[in-house]
Structure 1
Amino acid sequence: MNVTIFPTGKGGSESAVRYLLSDTDHEGKKRSVLPEILFGDPTIFTEIANATKRQHKYTSGVIAFRDGLESQSVTPEQITTLIETFRATFLPGLKVDENFADFWVLHRDKNNVELHFLVANTELSSGSQPQLNIHPPGEKNIQFFNAFSAVINDNFGFAQVVPDPLKIALKPFEAKSPNGKKDKKAKNDFAQVLHSEIVNGTIGNRNQLIGYMKRHGLDVQAVGSEFITVRLPGASRNTRLKGALFSKDSDYAALVAEHHQSKIPKFLTPAEAKVQKDKLIAGIEARTAFNQHRYLTPKPGAKRSHRASKLPTANLPHRLARCQDEQDHKVKSVPTKEIRSTLKDQLTQLKEQANPAAKLPTANLPHQVARRQDEQDREGQLSNVMGAAVEGLEAQIGSLSMQYHSLMLMLVSAKGRRASQIKSQLMALEQKLTALNLEVEKKKIQAKDPLKPTIT
């Protein structure tokens, strides 16, 4: 599982919403599985995101699970809890629809689970519409997101996401085709050829890389100690290539070794897991403090109160105003224990909601078995499992009900084939809601009397 933030968000949000709900993918191919709205209303989100005059109106990203068992093992209840955990991590202290607006859509057409999200870059409770950015620039924020992925993967029992230095370095070639945007195959082929030449040792240093690019039609504009600037055929602007692959003292043998290492599944040891969890909690604490000060603390002069004081000068108007302003600016201490407890509860809930039938083979690895035993020794047996199951089902019902409502709104303006597709989705949702409501009733009956056989 990995979180990716896309370099988009400028202009209106209509195109982003339209893509997430489209029955075709980015290459114009028909999706094998139609998108499913998880949270939010497309029309309302678009209106909120577009209300600001700022250039960057929203943040777009995806939580993507790997193909195969990783995507097959995640349950609908876990998806709901994961989204709630994401919100509590990157928007701590803020409430959905009160302080922020987001929109979540599930894609399964690539044979994996992808939770696409859009977050409006505006805080809602203030009339001044201050900027709200869940992914500010800087290395600290990148480490914060990396810690989230590491902790969630460890909690699920998934292998960690290990960056491939060659894939990262060659990404600009995949993004900009040597033959222009029309030839998508050419850009992929060029990146793949470079990749192969570096891995097999034909290109063993930066000078050889520069020579290879020149021989294959790339105009090398400038060479610096930390970068290479090139003009790709068909491009109107230069592209600056930065990173280990393009630095003067780069070690290609070491990069190739890291490339091979990235293909070997890596799982965290208990000590490594603790380090990542501490990093995540520190990030949540810092962002909670920022949100409290930026969005939840009354602004100076918003309220004035006249209080008695021991000093005779304390009753002067400027003293009163300054005293009140200082109190308004004071940020409440961040509840560290509460943050730790909340995160622990969310991770525990994700484990409780796991589907035993789709249990990953990695669950029986020694470090996973040892960690489960440690957790049992520390925490004892989990309680209220049935109650958590009911809550998970009710959350799923709420999510599907929101989706049903959104589809009804879309049906009003839909015509032809699109209208037929929406009607089919509505029928499928009705069946799901009926089945889930029946399951909730069964769970409630079983919770009242565990020994009583359930009705089938």
Structure 2
Amino acid sequence: MIVKIHSRGAGSGSGPVDYLLGKDRQREQATVLRGDPDRVCELIDSCDFARSYTSGVLSFQEPDIADSEKSRLMDEWEQTLMTGLDRDQYNCLWVEHRDKGRLELNFVIPNIELQSGKRLQPYFDRADRPRVNAWQTLTNDRLGLRDPNDPLNRRPMTQASDLPRDKQQAAEKITAGLMNLMQQGEIRSRQDVVKQLESYGLSVARETKNSISIADPDGGKNIRLKGMIYERDFKFGEGLRGEIEAAGAGYRAEREARVREAGNVYQRGLEIKLAEHQQRYPRTERPTDGHSQIFPPDRTGLDIPVRRAADHDTGRDNLVSGNGHHFPPERNGQLQPATGEPESPERCRGSDLQGRQAEEH
């Protein structure tokens, strides 16, 4: 499982809800697991904020998991983002997708605290990513799910889950063709990849450390190609597979330390988020109708021991995402995790809450 937080969040409520369920609410293999789509639309439309909602997906390689585990994961994820808030202080829509041959649990949260009407920001990348990565690590380990940070599970291509279907198919075909040429020895570096794309008649619009963007022939938004073969340091050779296997063995040997550190990071992150929410959204009385979210920081449902201040070593927080084990320097760029969407500079400005979160964390 991998957690992805979408970078979008502005506009009317019909945008994310129609994407998840279809405009006629008849999207194939889409099922509402929790929440009221119409209510979520109303809340998003009522928000007078620059960013009116937060959305994302828990994406699995597995085709399905037990319903009881889905329920538990939804509870844990809401606690991870909204710890310290009661259930009547926020709204969350959950929609299951199965149309890609695997399980996706999609969520949409209106960015409004329901009791006060204040702006609610469930996720701020710079502050919340360590806690989210830690939860992902703990959950994958607990359920034995495919770990995206294991070097053996690195994919030749990853793409945004909200990419239009026609562009997804185009990216998949391009990658399949490049992989075939790589196996034949005709592609051995990123430079070869770029030359091959141009030979297809495609225009490379942008290159970054981890991706290549090609111009849409129809004039739409650029199509970003992201994955191992599109990274700047990619080099194919006879020794690549051996390096990947060795890195994978080292990664799995560090499992106990990685899980222990994830528990520490997650616990500390919950404590900070809890204090922040309770300060910003205080309640004079607790609800008595069963909506209370009874999740104190030391009882997360993840079997995490109570942490002490002495247990926390900020210098090791990056172990949670598997950054503690590397390829040799020339391969190191191929092992970095890709959980979530990074904040753009524009998103990091214009909000007193964002500034305060980053400063406190």
Shared fold per TM-score greater than 0.5: yes
Q: 1:279 to 1:196 in 2, by over 3 A?
A: farther
Comparing 112-121 and 231-240, the one that deviates more:
231-240
Aligned equivalent of 2:356: none
> Shift of residue 194 of structure 1?
2.1
Would you say the 8 A contact 1:164–1:262 is kept in 2?
Answer: no
Deviations 1:393-441 (A, max 9, x none): xxxxxxxxxxxxxxxxxxxxxxxxxxxxxxxxxxxxxxxxxxxxxxxxx
1:155-194 residue pairs with structure 2 within 5 A? 155-162=142-149, 164=154, 166-168=156-158, 171=159, 175=163, 185-194=169-178
Q: 1:237 to 1:154 in 2, by over 3 A?
A: closer
Would you say the 8 A contact 2:190–2:229 is kept in 1?
Answer: yes
The percent identity for this pair of structures is: 25
Q: 1:246 to 1:86 in 2, by over 3 A?
A: closer
Aligned equivalent of 1:63: 58
Q: Does 1:3 align with 2:3?
A: yes
Deviations 1:280-319 (A, max 9, x none): 2222223223323333399xxxxxxxxxxxxxxxxxxxxx
Matches of 1:198 and 1:297, distance apart in 2? 60
1:41-440 residue pairs with structure 2 within 5 A? 41-68=36-63, 71-72=64-65, 74=66, 76-97=67-88, 99-108=89-98, 112-127=102-117, 129-130=118-119, 132-138=120-126, 141-162=128-149, 164=154, 166-168=156-158, 171=159, 175=163, 185-198=169-182, 200-220=184-204, 230-236=214-220, 250-253=234-237, 269-296=255-282, 338-340=296-298, 342-343=299-300, 346-347=301-302
Would you say the 8 A contact 1:154–1:267 is kept in 2?
Answer: no
> Shift of residue 119 of structure 1?
0.7
What's the TM-score, normalizing by structure 1?
0.52
> Shift of residue 87 of structure 1?
1.6
> Shift of residue 188 of structure 1?
2.6
Q: 1:252 to 1:232 in 2, by over 3 A?
A: farther
- How many residue pairs match? The answer is 286
Would you say the 8 A contact 1:66–1:112 is kept in 2?
Answer: yes
Matches of 2:2 and 2:208, distance apart in 1? 33
Q: 1:284 to 1:201 in 2, by over 3 A?
A: farther
Name the SS of the counterpart of 1:339 in structure 2.
Answer: coil
Matches of 2:193 and 2:101, distance apart in 1? 36
> Shift of residue 217 of structure 1?
0.8
Would you say the 8 A contact 1:175–1:187 is kept in 2?
Answer: no
> Shift of residue 240 of structure 1?
7.4
Unaligned runs of 5+ in 2: 285-294, 305-361
**Higher RCO, Cα 8 Å, sep 6+:** 2
Comparing 14-23 and 255-264, the one that deviates more:
255-264
Q: 1:190 to 1:245 in 2, by over 3 A?
A: closer
Deviations 1:99-136 (A, max 9, x none): 21111234455565433221111222324x22x22232
> Shift of residue 206 of structure 1?
2.7
> Shift of residue 92 of structure 1?
0.9
Matches of 1:225 and 1:150, distance apart in 2? 24
- Larger radius of gyration between Structure 1 and Structure 2: 1
Comparing 251-260 and 159-168, the one that deviates more:
251-260
Would you say the 8 A contact 2:157–2:228 is kept in 1?
Answer: no
Matches of 2:174 and 2:110, distance apart in 1? 37
Matches of 1:2 and 1:226, distance apart in 2? 18
What's the TM-score, normalizing by structure 2?
0.64
Q: 1:290 to 1:212 in 2, by over 3 A?
A: same
Name the SS of the counterpart of 2:108 in structure 1.
Answer: strand
Matches of 2:215 and 2:114, distance apart in 1? 43
Matches of 2:19 and 2:220, distance apart in 1? 27
Root-mean-square deviation (CA, aligned residues, Å) is 4.1
Deviations 1:330-351 (A, max 9, x none): xxxxxxx9512x11xx1359xx
